[in-house]
Amino acid sequence: MKKRLIPLIMLLIMALTVIGCGGPATTEDATAPVELNVSAAASLTDAAKEIAVLYNQQHPDVKITYNFASSGTLQKQIEEGAPADLFISAGKKQMDALQEKGLIVDSSRKDLLGNELVLIAPEDSTLTGFEGLTDASIDKIAIGTPETVPAGKYAQEALITMGLWDSIQPQLVMAKDVRQVLTYVQTGNTAAGLVYLSDTYQADKIKIIAAAPSDSHAPIVYPMALIKSSQKQETTADFANFLSSQEAKDVFAKYQFIPLD
């Protein structure tokens, strides 16, 4: 009789233990949202947020968390181990640096977008072109810091090509990213600035003065790649593929980016 009771007692103890621990994992636990950390160039802010909403409509179990900053800042953060699953840069230099250090999945690298560099000024400005930047009335000109902001590097190249760089050095105001350049011009803190065409989408208090000649600077390309240390490679790859879908391309085009195949 005692021998029969022992197995029953053991089963009862096991059952009580399971109940005390909350029982087996529920479906909700098994399908907990996956959070993707996407480091993206500041110029992508508006378009990227809209695309995340579209992606979530199809994948409600995935949460897209963006880290927007200059591409150089994001590159440094990734090199220092900041959490990132996907990197979308506004320049090849920053992506090349991560690739050389073995921090991205090489096969996942893809040129996602193109853009255009434009000269902007406050809406009441009398500036008519790049040549007017040397006029005494143009006291401050904002560009992104060339060493860390791709838009700033393109601006530097364009101004050098047009023979303006040396003469306007005293007027230059360096910004932490291209969105700060836009803000400087919108608030009247600078008389002009160089930004991407995409940054001017629905931007108030500014006007486009001129586009920089395409041959005055290196081609503007936004590469993206998966970060090798990511523990969510499959989900990240799916989101990266969505960024190349026609649905996402339509959003990028609306914001005046140039989708690349």
Beta pairing, strands 258-259 & 110-114: antiparallel
Domains assigned to the chain: 33-114+221-259 (3.40.190.10), 117-216 (3.40.190.10)
Report pLDDT digits (tens) over 174-229.
Answer: 999 999 999 999 999 999 999 999 999 999 999 999 999 999 999 999 999 999 99
Q: What is the pLDDT of residues 90-145, one digit of tens each?
A: 999 999 999 999 999 999 999 999 999 999 999 999 999 999 999 999 999 999 99
Enumerate residues 6+ apart whose C-beta is below 8 A from 105.
225, 226, 227, 228, 233
Rounded Cα distance between 62 and 232, Å, is: 11
Tokens in use for 184? Answer: 């400087």
pLDDT for residue 8: 47
pLDDT of 31 reads 60
Q: Which two tokens stand for residue 39?
A: 């480091």
As a whole number, mean pLDDT of residues 57-74 equals 97
Q: What percent of the chain has pLDDT over 90?
A: 87
According to DSSP, the β-strands at 141-144 and 172-175 are parallel
Structure confidence at residue 32 as a pLDDT band (50, 70, 90): confident
Using DSSP, state whether 259 is helix, strand or coil: strand
Distance separating alpha carbons of residues 149 and 84, to the nearest angstrom: 19
DSSP secondary structure letters along 196-208: EGGGGTT--SEEE
